[in-house]
Each structure stands twice: as C-alpha cells, then as structure tokens.
C-alpha cells in the first residue's frame, strides 16, 4: 500500500495564480483532511471531509476550496494565491471509527507564493 | 489563547535521559489525547493515544492524561538520538457529529550522543 500520497511535492506560485493540490489514499478511509503547517503555529485544519461528496470548513478555510468526488481523493484548491499561503500542506486520512485518534499523514507539499 | 498549548522548545538532552513533553488545554470536552512524532521534512505519524484519563505505556514511551488539571504528558525513557524529532500533541472532541483533532504547536526534541 502506498498509504497517503500528495502531488506535487514542491511548487512555487506567483501571487494571483491558481493551483490544485491532490491527495490520494488507498486504505479505503472515510475521513480526509487538509492541514497547513507554519513555523511556530503547528498544524491548522483547513477543510475536512467525512465521506465522498461531503466537505466541511476547519479552522483556517479562507482562500481555499476543496472537493471529494471520489472516496480515495481529496483536492485542495487555491483560486488566487497570496504570499500568506506560503506553507507546508499536509493531507491526512482516517477510518470512521478511528477518526478521533488515528490519522495517517502524507509527506507534505511545500508551497511558496512570491 | 489557543485551545492546546505546547512549548515549542527546542529541548536538548543527552542520550539515555528521561524526556518529559507536556501540553495543556482549555476545552474540557476533549476525550481523545494523542502524541504524534514528526521527523524533519516528513509527515506526522501517530505514536500513541489515550482515551479519557490515565496512563498508557508502549515500550520506552508512556502517555499520561490528567483531565482534572487539563494536562497531558509524554515520557520517553532511555532516549536515543533516533528520538530526535518534533512531538505534536493532539486532542479531539465531538464537533458537529465528528471528532476533529486539534494540534499543539509541537516540541522540538534533540537527543545528542
């Protein structure tokens, strides 16, 4: 099993450009999450999904959109990138019954917005 | 004030030392308490979790939860250089029908030979 994979691993964007980050998991997990990690700020939840076709806002959703059209994929979109969105983005997934305590994380995407 | 407070460190200890990592929290509804380990430029991985109060031991690692004080700890015995990483505490409570974790800022641990 590949576990949780993220595409791309690195990206540099100019202010105002758009992009989509792809997260894929092969563990048949119900829950999927997008986090951003900034120095001194820890992991902050952007959006999450409890199942195919459902999404919900997390702690810092502004400037991001998500979609979960297939159970195994969770997409994070930046419509108009801003320098404040420079961060490391982590995707995670979990089983429904272990969601409270067991998340599997991807390797991260390092995004720089200039 | 953040719901979960964690000293970012760094915490530097000699090999073989007992390490104590701690978090405090303000939300009394938290029921699950987790510790994740994150190596440099990698994603976090779950070390161990505890439900409600009490202790849990796994090899050299012991997790403690004191709900009355809103305080959780992770102890590492006989620390090794390979334990050098960032340790993130996380806690979850039911929110809108789902348990969604809240993470601390992480503590950077350095174990030197």
Residues 54-83 of B with CB under 8 A from A: none
| Per-residue pLDDT tens over the stretch A53-87 | 999 999 999 999 999 999 999 999 999 999 999 99
3-state DSSP helix/strand/coil percent for chain A, to nearest 5? 5, 55, 45
CA angle A20, A109, B24 (to 5 degrees): 115
Q: Give CA–CA dist A77/A75, Å, rounded.
A: 6
Is B99 in Cβ contact with A99 (below 8 Å)?
Answer: yes
Is A101 in Cβ contact with B49 (below 8 Å)?
Answer: yes
Q: Does pLDDT of B3 surpass 80? A: yes
| Per-residue pLDDT tens over the stretch B82-113 | 999 999 999 998 887 888 899 999 999 999 99
Q: Does pLDDT of A29 surpass 80? A: yes
Is B92 in Cβ contact with A101 (below 8 Å)?
Answer: yes
Calculate the average pLDDT of chain B: 94
| Per-residue pLDDT tens over the stretch A31-58 | 999 999 998 888 999 999 999 999 999 9
Q: Does pLDDT of A12 surpass 70? A: yes
Q: CA dihedral defined by A58, B23, B106, A40, rounded to 10 degrees? A: 70
Chains A, B: CB contacts within 8 A come to: 62
Assess B35–A contact: CB distance below 8 Å, yes or no. no
Other C-beta atoms lying within 10 Å of the C-beta of residue A108: 22
Assess B99–A contact: CB distance below 8 Å, yes or no. yes
| Per-residue pLDDT tens over the stretch B40-79 | 999 999 999 999 888 999 999 999 999 999 999 999 999 9
| pLDDT (average), residues B19-23 | 97
Assess A56–B contact: CB distance below 8 Å, yes or no. yes
Q: Give CA–CA dist A32/A64, Å, rounded.
A: 15
Collapsing DSSP to helix, strand or coil, A85 comes out as helix
pLDDT at B12: 97
pLDDT at B1: 63
Calculate the average pLDDT of chain A: 95
Cis peptide bond upstream of B10, omega within 30: yes
């Amino acid at each position: 099993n590949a576990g949780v994979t993220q595409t791309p691993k690195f990206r540099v964007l100019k202010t105002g450009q758009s992009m989509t980050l792809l997260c894929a998991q092969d563990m048949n997990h119900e829950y999927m999450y997008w986090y951003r990690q900034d120095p001194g700020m820890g992991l902050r939840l952007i959006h999450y999904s409890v199942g195919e076709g459902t999404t919900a806002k997390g702690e810092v959703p502004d400037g991001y959109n998500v979609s979960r059209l297939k159970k195994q994929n969770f997409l994070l979109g930046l419509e108009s990138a801003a320098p404040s969105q420079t961060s490391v983005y982590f995707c995670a997934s979990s089983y429904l019954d272990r969601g409270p305590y067991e998340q599997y994380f991807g390797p991260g995407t390092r995004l720089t917005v200039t | 004030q953040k719901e979960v407070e964690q000293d970012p460190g760094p915490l530097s200890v000699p090999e073989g030392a007992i390490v104590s990592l701690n978090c405090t929290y303000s939300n009394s509804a938290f029921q699950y308490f987790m510790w994740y380990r994150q190596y440099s430029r990698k994603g976090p991985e779950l070390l161990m979790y505890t439900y409600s109060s009490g202790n849990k031991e796994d090899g050299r690692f012991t997790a403690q939860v004191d709900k009355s004080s809103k305080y959780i700890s992770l102890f590492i015995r006989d620390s090794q250089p390979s334990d050098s990483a960032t340790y993130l505490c996380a806690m979850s409570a039911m929110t809108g029908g789902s348990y969604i974790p809240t993470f601390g800022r992480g503590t950077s641990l350095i174990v030197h030979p």
